[in-house]
């Protein structure tokens, strides 16, 4: 945070974007670092952009409102949804395998009843994932 000051100054920032920043409407003169956030989208190289001393966040969050966004994303919200579903299908398959491995360990430990129950859960899990994959395939055709 900055103290209030009543004198003017100029300062330069070595970064490639422009932004407004006010400090309670009062200009001041001293060397400082400050934190700021800005939600615009722009191409950047991290090596060059972070050569200055300011702490900041570059936010590229997608609001999903494509018509009013100048971000120039390479994908639509539907493409993002599809990517997430595709990821989830793969993710669930990996978890199903992990569960099956756990079941095998239960069987090896002599608890065959528990093994069967967990494998039944794996089967249910895989059924759900199959349904997800079918939806994904259907969406891919459109």
Partner 1 sequence: MCLSTVYKNSRAEENIVLKNVMHIECKDGCVICTDLMDRSVAVEGVLESANLVDGYVVIKETVA
- Residues of the shown chain interacting with partner 1 in the complex, contacts defined by CB under 8 A: 32-33, 35, 46-47, 49-50, 53-62, 73, 75, 79-80, 83-84, 87, 91, 94
17 touches 58 (CB < 8 A): no
Residue 116 C-beta: closest distance to partner 1, Å: 27
Smallest Cα–Cα separation from 118: which of 70, 24, 108? 108
Q: Which of residues 95 and 112 has its CB atom nearest to partner 1 in the complex? A: 95
Q: Which of residues 84 and 135 has its CB atom nearest to partner 1 in the complex? A: 84
Beta-ladder partners of 37: 57
57 touches 40 (CB < 8 A): no
122 touches 96 (CB < 8 A): yes
Residue 33 C-beta: closest distance to partner 1, Å: 4
Q: Which of residues 17 and 108 has its CB atom nearest to partner 1 in the complex? A: 17
Residue 82 C-beta: closest distance to partner 1, Å: 10
Residue 110 C-beta: closest distance to partner 1, Å: 29
Integer Cα distance of 36 and 57 in angstroms = 7
78 touches 66 (CB < 8 A): no
Q: Which of residues 53 and 128 has its CB atom nearest to partner 1 in the complex? A: 53
92: three-class secondary structure by DSSP: helix
């Amino acid at each position: 945070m900055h103290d209030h000051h009543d004198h003017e100054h100029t300062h330069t920032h070595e970064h490639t974007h422009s932004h407004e920043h006010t400090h309670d409407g009062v200009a001041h003169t001293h060397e400082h670092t400050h934190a700021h956030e800005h939600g615009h989208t722009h191409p950047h190289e991290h090596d060059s952009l972070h050569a200055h001393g300011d702490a900041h966040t570059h936010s590229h969050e997608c609001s999903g409102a494509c018509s009013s966004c100048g971000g120039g994303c390479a994908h639509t919200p539907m493409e993002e949804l599809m990517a997430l579903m595709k990821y989830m299908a793969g993710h669930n398959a990996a978890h199903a395998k992990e569960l099956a491995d756990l079941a095998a360990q239960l069987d090896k430990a002599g608890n065959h009843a528990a093994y069967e129950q967990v494998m039944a859960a794996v089967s249910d899990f895989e059924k759900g994932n199959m349904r997800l994959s079918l939806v994904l395939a259907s969406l891919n055709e459109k």
